[in-house]
Every structure is written in C-alpha cells, then in structure tokens.
Amino acid sequence: MLTSQEIIQLTQDLYEKVVAYRRHLHKHPELSFHEYETSAFVRKQLDILEIAWEEVAGTGVVGVIEGGKEVSDKTVVLRADIDALPILEEIQSGFRSRNEGVMHACGHDFHTANLLGVASILKTLKNSFSGKILLLFQPAEEKIPGGARAVLDSGCLEKLGGNITAVLGLHVSPRLLTGEIGLCPGRFMASSDEIYLKIKGRGGHAAEPNRAIDPIMITAQLLSTLQQVVSRKADPSIPSVLTFGKIVGNGAANVIPDDVWLEGTFRTMDESWRKQALQQVEEIVFKTTEMLGAEAQLEIRNGYPVLINDVSLSQQFIALMLDYFSPDCFRNVPEWMAAEDFAYYSHKYPSLFFLVGIKNPLTEVQYGLHNAKFDLDEKAFLNSMQALTLACLRFLGNECK
C-alpha cells in the first residue's frame, strides 16, 4: 500500500527540479492562446517522463497516466493554467521575464511547474494505484472566453478519460502563509462579465453646456444609478460587485467631449441573479441615456460562471488535509469575488479548486495577484505537490497510509 512517507520523500527529491521548472516558465511568459513555447516546454518534460500526451485547445496539453495496480474505470483530471498577463514586471531577479510587458503575475508558472512535479510523482508510483489521471495544462485562463471552455468543447476529456470522478485545480494565494492549504466548500468564486459602453452626446464649449449634450454628466448620473443594481436590487445574501475601472472622456477644461467610453465588470455568486442583473444593467443604460438626450452603445461579454466546489469532494479533501498535515496548516477560506474559468469544469463534473499559501511571514510586503511586483515563496511547492497528489489518489479510490 502507498504511504504518505513515499510521497513526502518524492516531493522533497523533486523540489529543486520543480523550482527550476517554475523559474524557466517565469522567464518565458506568454499571453493567452499564444503559449507556444510554454506548451513545447510542457510536452518536452512529459516526453522525458515517458508520459503520453495530446494537444488540446490550440496550445493546451493533456498527459495521460494509467495506474497499474488493477483495472478501474475512474479518472481524475488535474488542471493547471499556463498563460501569463500583459504586465511589465518590476521585480529584479535572475529569472525576471524576458518577454517585455508580459509577466507571470498570477502564479500560473507555479501551477504549471507544480503539476509537472505531481506528474513525476504519479508516474513513479503508477504501479501502486488504480485508475487514470489526465494532466491538463490548460491555456488562456486570463482571457474571456477562457481556455477551459475550449477544452470542454473539444471532447478530449471524455475521449481520454471516460468516467471522470473529479477535476482538481489549485491557485496560489498571497493571503495564506507558505504551505497553508485553503478551501471553501460550495460556491467559491464569482461569475465574471465584462461591460463595454459608449455614451454618445454632443460636444461643445464648456461655457455653453445648454448647447451640448454632456456625456460626462450623463456618465456620472449613469454610474450612480447603476450601483442600485447591487445596493437595491440584489438579494443581500448574494455577493455582487459592479465596478467600472476605465472611463475615458477626451474633452478639456473648457471642452465638452462628444462621447465617453467606459469599461467595467459585474460579478456575483448566483447564476439566476446574474442573468437578471445584466438585464437590469441594460435597461438602466438605455433608459437613462435616452431620458437625458444621449445614445448608448453597449456590449456585455459573458465571462466565466460561478465556481462551485463539490460538497462531497470538499468534505473528503478537508479530512484528508487534516490527516496528513498539521491542524494549523488547513484553512477554511471565504468566498472570493475573483473569477476563474475552472468554473466551467465545476458545472459539468464533480470539481474541487483549492488555495495554496505563498506568503513568507518574513517578507515585509506581499504584493497581490496581478501586481507588477508579485512574487511567491517557492517553499510552497512542498505542501502543494503533496496535497494535489494525495487528493488525486483519494478520489481515484486509492488509500494511502
């Protein structure tokens, strides 16, 4: 029977190699759907491990490991995202991004390296467990419509896996201390929709606003009114956020512009309310602008759905973490209004998405995700690889002492 000590030893043996994987990936970040070098690197490492693989969703890769212990129809999918962000890195290190203006500022280099490490562990242990494991290196998590949807549309998981027992994923968290494991059973991460809006007025001299249709003032009124979707229309028990992060009105101190451009996002934790809220946003936009004499051009891009952690898998995972790690290593974490395209898997298969702490308590400042100064404590690989390996084996029905 497998023992946790075997997994701990393999993790420790692989640590330096996995750190090297992560630093290589960090030096060579690529944007969503353009992860060509990243994909080639993953395929090369799988070849070295003698793990069969197939391409998926353009730049994605799916590796396959079959346990040799006995016949089983169970399959577990382990997913890591591989894309980076359009951010100019501000950290100076020996593995700083060489692709100017592109950075692994969300930890996807960690996720990919971690899964390569877990792949090596599971390949070594393949004759000690039963079932099939799909190693999914998924492209384009950072950009709507997301690589997860393309993976599901391809049908590759069913073709390669058959009876999918669980889909597992993880994300680094700068809010948790290095090596802590966090989980939120049930609904965990928000849906995410993008709003693109142009208010068309009529420009003019700032001294004669009566001769213009001022899109600046109309925008101010509209922003105030739209907030009532959250403050007065939403059920208070359903977390909801409506934020506009970009407003461009290219007038001047004495010039009223012709139009104003806005970009924003709506996020919530309930799919039914999500649909209603977006309809209300649309109604408010068109009715308000018409009432004030302007025109609106509105585009709502539907993004990722609510991410739901399967309750049964969550209960098993929590018990597993408490069995194998010290009690103060596990954290129950709250709902998170960030969005993840892993959510698509959670609407089709039993799924589990957990957090791994990367905050070194000795570091004075820990910058957040999507920050140009984001960094992480690589010691987190030790618990991260163990947690993912143990959970995979448990959900395949294999016990580990």
Active centre residues (catalytic): 83, 141
Parallel, antiparallel, or unpaired: how do β-strands 255-256 and 351-359 relate?
unpaired
What is the C-alpha end-to-end distance of the chain, expressed in Å? Answer: 7
Count of all residues that appear for the chain in the document = 401
Reported as half-sphere exposure (CB side, CA atoms, 13 A), residue 129 has a value of 30
Alpha-helical regions (H) of 125-175: 147-154, 156-161
Nearest to 104 by CA among 4, 37, 17, 5: 37
Gap between the Cα atoms of 380 and 385, Å rounded: 9
Alpha-helical regions (H) of 83-230: 108-124, 147-154, 156-161, 215-226, 228
Q: DSSP code of 242?
A: E
User: CB neighbours of 326 closer than 8 A, spacing ≥ 6?
Assistant: none
Gap between the Cα atoms of 124 and 126, Å rounded: 6
Buried/exposed 339-360: b ≥16 CB within 10 Å, e otherwise: bbbbbbbbeebbbbbbbbbbbb
170 pairs with which residues across the strands?
354
Q: Both tokens of residue 4?
A: 């946790």
- Please, which contacts does 232-236 make with residues 24 or more away whose CB atoms are closer than 8 Å? 233/276, 233/277, 233/280, 234/268, 234/273, 234/277, 235/270, 235/273
Question: Secondary structure of the chain: what % helix, strand, coil (to 5)?
Answer: 35, 30, 35
